[in-house]
Amino acid sequence: MYIFHKSEALKAYLDEQKAAGNSSGFVPTMGALHQGHLSLIRQARTENGIAVCSIFVNPTQFNDPQDLAKYPRTIEADIALLIEAGCDALFLPEVDEVYPDGQQLKEPYDLGYVETVLEGAFRPGHFQGVAQVVERLLLLTAPDRLYLGQKDYQQCMVLKRLIELKQLPVTLHIVPTSREADGLAMSSRNRRLTEPQRALAGLLYQCLVSIQVKKNLQPFAIVQKECREILEKKGFRPDYIQLADADTLELLEEYDANRPVVALIAAFIGDIRLIDNLIL
């Protein structure tokens, strides 16, 4: 696996691969890699001539500076995992390499409704930072295909909007969420959980399964209330337990058999915020 710290060297490598007829699949990450990330790498490797990964802890998408400071950084272990997964190239830039003209957005992205609800409501400005870094990385890597995990469902919808908005020549592939044995969605933030917190964290997925199972049996408001009470009893602080249109993220008050629906959940356990979702 080649490791690039500078965009010019990366571009030269990618141009060479393109000239040789190799398509490229790109997986943007913030490091602290787990099997969920590696599933994206493996799919990118299977469906393209080369798989490219980036590790960059993007400062513009953190609302809380302490959250940025605490974000796990495990570069040596990440490199070993990427090699094992068959990654061809890793882009490992410094902040100035990604933002040579500074981190301030010159003009906000018109992301529309998908930016305003759920995560957007609880983390204002977050998706502007996500769009900013992903657009920059896509311009630097110019991949044929972009691979994202379903765990960050709203982020996938935001980046789908970004691709349309900027008419970027890349195809988006959303890969199903990788889970632990108890259903907990794999996430870099899981590393920060204490043993007692980790033992409880699978409750988020259990709530999503409950929402799925009861969709033809009870009104959603009752199921939503049950899930909130279960989580609060175990020490969670839920931000939202919500149904939405799976295509538009329009929030729904009730189950709807006539459209694709996704259930989404976000909750704190201690100072760690976990999110998950399930397409019904």
CATH of residue 224? 3.30.1300.10
List all residues 6 or more positions away from 13 whose beta carbon is below 8 Å from its beta carbon: 2, 4, 89
- Residue 37 is among the residues annotated as catalytic for this protein: yes
3-state helix, strand, coil in the chain (%, to 5): 45, 20, 35
Give pLDDT, residue 106: 82
Closest CA to 33 of 79, 64, 65, 2: 79
Residue 180 domain flag: no
Report the alpha-carbon distance of residue 271 to residue 160 in Å, rounded.
30
- Quickly state the pLDDT bin for 35 (edges 50, 70, 90): very high
* Residue 228 and residue 132 share a domain: no
Q: What is the reported pLDDT for 69?
A: 77
User: Which of 5, 37, 126, 173 is labelled catalytic?
Assistant: 37
Phi, psi of 114 (to 5 degrees): -60, -20
Residues with Cβ < 8 Å from 246, sequence gap 6 or more? 259, 260, 261, 262, 279
The answer to whether the pTM exceeds 0.75 is yes
Domain that holds residue 251: 188-279
Binding-site residues for (R)-pantoate, please?
61, 155
Residues 8, 37, single domain; the answer is yes
* Average pLDDT of the residues in 90-94: 97
In a domain, 111, yes or no: yes
Predicted confidence at residue 105, as pLDDT, reads: 85
Residue 204 to residue 274: CA distance in whole angstroms: 8
Whole-angstrom distance, CA of residue 127 vs CA of residue 224:
26
pLDDT of residue 25: 98
Do 216 and 99 sit in the same domain of this protein?
no
- Which residue ranges are tagged as binding site for ATP? 30-37, 149-152, 186-189
Which residues are registered as beta bridge partners of 25? 51, 145
Q: Are residues 42 and 171 in the same domain?
A: yes
Q: What is the pLDDT of residue 7?
A: 95
Nearest of 257, 258, 225 to residue 242 by alpha carbon? 225
Please indicate, yes or no, whether residues 55 and 128 belong to a single structural domain of this protein.
Answer: yes
Average pLDDT, the chain: 95
Same domain, 118 and 37: yes
**Segment 195-200 long-range contacts (CB within 8 Å, at least 24 positions apart):** 197/269, 197/270, 197/272, 200/234, 200/235, 200/236, 200/269
Number of domain units in the chain:
2
CB 183 within 8 A of CB 205: yes
Q: Which amino acid is at 154?
A: Q
Which residue numbers belong to the known binding site for beta-alanine?
61
Q: Is the pLDDT score of 67 beyond 80?
A: no
